Amino acid sequence: MRKIFTIIILTLLTNNLFAEWGLWDSDRSYIVLNVKGSSNTYSLWNGGTGTFQGTNLGTFTNGDVLEINNFDVKTWKDGPSDVTGCEYFYVIYETGSRPSSPSFISLGGGFLQDLGNGNQKWGGSGLAVDLLVGLDANKNYTLEIYGKVDGTNPNESKYDNNNNSSTNYTATFITDAGLPVELTTFTAFAKEKEVVLNWQTATEVNNYGFYVERLAKSLNSDVNTEQNNAAWKSLGFVEGHGNSNSPKTYSYSDNSVNSGKYLYRLKQVDNDGSFEYSKVVEVNLEIPKEFELAQNYPNPFNPTTTIKFSLPEASNITLTVYNAIGEKITELLKGKMNAGYHSVEFGASSVSKQINSGVYIYSLQTPQKVISRKMILMK
């Protein structure tokens, strides 16, 4: 999900309605952004200009960081009334579509330091406000930051140190690689003798598809096995939707499992071959409680069919196919098998001689029990 072009406009609004209070020009205010893992300080107020003005923050790829980490605003006052509190807010919206009633998110804030001579410093530190999270592909965005101050004079006034200019502090950047796919859910559950995987995406860009991978829990003898990609088995591929801005659902059934615990994950692949793994989910298939031979499927069949059976405990078994008059056609399985669910395929390739259309008998024998069923080959 590459090629997202996003523009963020940062505006700092304040108000000069009160002559007894203002921003302190001799010690500039600033904002600290974590840009690609390195904190950068941009001055926002220095005689009406600042290093943040018109800044191009660069191009961001998958895994890069763009965060608000700190902000700092200096104030002065001439009158007797103090500014007694300060709080900061931000809002992000698609450029040109500003909500009539924006939902502002608080950044916190408070009194940090008395600078003397009536001057004070307000702001917040130790933040990690992610400016990239949740943005859609191929859209322009606006970020507004506001400060609200409390006191007798002024009271809840928004900052506007440059004559209410809404475009005074701006910055642009380009992202060409957000998450290839925004995966919202990934679940797995046991359904009779198979495992069903379901997942959903919110958006997709250049999504080639998903490889479904499985790891038997018994193989996970140490904590590093799950991280060993060679230990995972690729089960199949599910084609993606390429580009999409609406939710898409996917499903995959794994019917090649025995009893036990299994781990599953998705390997999402972009059209350019880049990939990433989903979270890991775990499923526990219980050991069957009864000895059972299921009806083959499909039936009638041509050219092949699948025969499934279950063993409540490890046992020596023989699975044999006979024709309608009791002559042995082939022995599909013979030997000791573990408890659990098993399956085998039967068809023309399973026997050494040609078989014709008709009724056949398949029989499962253990030392304790024998079960037989009919199946029909229809050419």
149-194 pLDDT tens trace:
666 454 334 444 333 444 346 677 776 655 457 777 888 888 777 8
Residues of the chain short of pLDDT 50, as ranges, are 1-19, 152, 154-168, 179, 219-224
Residues 234 and 296 in one domain: no
Residues 206 and 265 in one domain: yes
Alpha-helical segments (H) within the chain? none
Structure confidence at residue 182 (pLDDT): 74
> CA gyration radius for the chain?
33
Per the structure, how many domains does the chain have?
Answer: 3
Domain boundary among 262, 285, 308: 285
Residues 167 and 265 in one domain: no
Give the domain CATH number at 222.
2.60.40.10
Q: Measured between alpha carbons, how far is residue 317 from residues 197, 322, 333, 361 in Å?
A: 32, 16, 7, 16
Domain boundary among 285, 312, 338: 285
Domain ranges, residue 17: 2-177
Beta carbons of 29 and 72 less than 8 angstroms apart: yes
Beta carbons of 288 and 300 less than 8 angstroms apart: no
Beta carbons of 356 and 348 less than 8 angstroms apart: no
Whole-number Å distance between alpha carbons of 8 and 64 = 16
Residues 300 and 266 in one domain: no
Rounded to 5 degrees, what are φ and ψ at 109? 135, 180
Residues 168 and 246 in one domain: no
Residues 119 and 107 in one domain: yes
Domain boundary among 285, 305, 333: 285
Structure confidence at residue 75 (pLDDT): 74
Q: Measured between alpha carbons, how far is residue 112 from residues 17, 74, 120, 209 in Å?
A: 24, 10, 8, 51
Residues 308 and 333 in one domain: yes
- The CA-CA-CA angle for residues 67, 200, 136, to 5°, reads 35
Residues 152 and 165 in one domain: yes
Q: 65 is written with which tokens? A: 């960081």
DSSP string computed for 279-331: --EEEEEPPPSS-EEPPPBSSSBSSEEEEEEEESS-EEEEEEEEETTS-EEEE
Work out the widest C-alpha separation in the chain, in whole angstroms.
111
Structure confidence at residue 139 (pLDDT): 66
Q: Measured between alpha carbons, how far is residue 168 from residues 55, 139, 144 in Å?
A: 12, 22, 11
Give the tens place of pLDDT for each residue, 22-61. Answer: 666 666 678 888 988 888 888 776 655 677 776 777 777 6
Residues 267 and 299 in one domain: no
* 112 Ramachandran zone, left/alpha/beta (phi>0; psi -120 to 50): alpha
Structure confidence at residue 237 (pLDDT): 96
Structure confidence at residue 82 (pLDDT): 65
Residues 32 and 137 in one domain: yes
Q: 358 is written with which tokens? A: 């008709």
Residues 13 and 152 in one domain: yes
Residues 32 and 76 in one domain: yes
**Secondary structure (3-state) at 89:** strand
Instruction: Give the residue among 332, 328, 329 at the shortest CA–CA distance from 342.
Output: 332
